[in-house]
Structure 1
Amino acid sequence: MNSVLAIKDEILLLVNQAMIDFENITEAAWNDKPQPHKWSKKELLGHLIDSASNNIRRLIVSQYEQEVKIIYHQDEWVAYQNYQSVNIAEVKSLWKLLNYQISRVIENIPEEKLQNTCDTGKGKTELHSLSFYIEDYLVHLKYHLNQITA
Structure 2
Amino acid sequence: MKHTIDELRRLVIEYTAKISALPEPEFSAKPLPHKWSKKEVLGHLIDSAQNNLRRFICGQYEPFPPHIVYHQDFWVYANAYGHAPKDDVIQLWRLTNERICEILHTMPPENYARTCNTSKDDVQLRTLEWLADDYVKHMKHHLNQIIPGSFDIVYK
Q: Give TM class, smaller chain.
A: over 0.9
1:34 corresponds in structure 2 to 31
CA distance in 2, matches of 1:77, 1:18: 22
1:147: Cα distance to partner?
Answer: 1.1
Match of 2:75 among 74, 77, 92: 77
Q: Name the residue aligned to 1:109.
A: 107
Q: Distance in 2 between matches of 1:24 and 1:87?
A: 14
Amino acid of the residue matched to residue 135 of structure 1? Answer: D
Gaps of 5+ in 1: none
Matched residue type, 2:38: K
Deviation by residue 1:49-97 (Cα, 9 ceiling, x = unmatched): 0011000000000001131101110000000110000000000000000
Confirm or deny: 8 A CA contact 2:113 2:128 kept in the other structure: yes
Q: 2:18: which partner in 1?
A: 21
Q: 4+ residue stretches of structure 1 with deviation over 4 A?
A: none
Higher relative contact order (CA 8 A, sep 6+): 1
CA distance in structure 2 between the aligned counterparts of 1:23 and 1:95, rounded to whole angstroms: 12
Is contact 2:20–2:90 with CA below 8 Å preserved after alignment?
A: no
Three-state SS of the structure 2 residue aligned to 1:118 is strand
User: How large is the RMSD of aligned CA atoms in angstroms?
Assistant: 0.8
TM-score (normalised: structure 2): 0.92
User: Do 2:20 and 2:87's aligned partners in 1 also have CA atoms closer than 8 Å?
Assistant: no
Query: For residue 19 of structure 1, what is the amino acid of its counterpart?
Result: T
Residue 120 of structure 2, aligned match among 122, 131, 135: 122
Aligned residue in 2 for 1:61: 58
Aligned counterparts of 1:35 and 1:130: Cα–Cα separation in 2: 35
**Structure 1 position 49 matched with structure 2 position 46:** yes
Residue 24 of structure 1 deviates from its aligned partner by 2.9
CA distance in 1, matches of 2:69, 2:21: 34
Identical aligned residues as a percent: 42
Partner of 2:3: 6
Structure 2 unaligned segments of length 5 or more: list them: 149-156
Question: How far apart, in 1, do the equivalents of 2:71 and 2:51 lie?
Answer: 10
Q: Measure, in 2, the Cα distance between the counterparts of 1:90 and 1:139.
A: 24
Distance 1:91 1:20 in 2: 13
Q: Report the count of equivalent residues.
A: 147
User: 2 CA distance for matches of 1:119 and 1:47?
Assistant: 20
Partner of 2:154: none
Q: Secondary structure at the match of 1:33?
A: coil
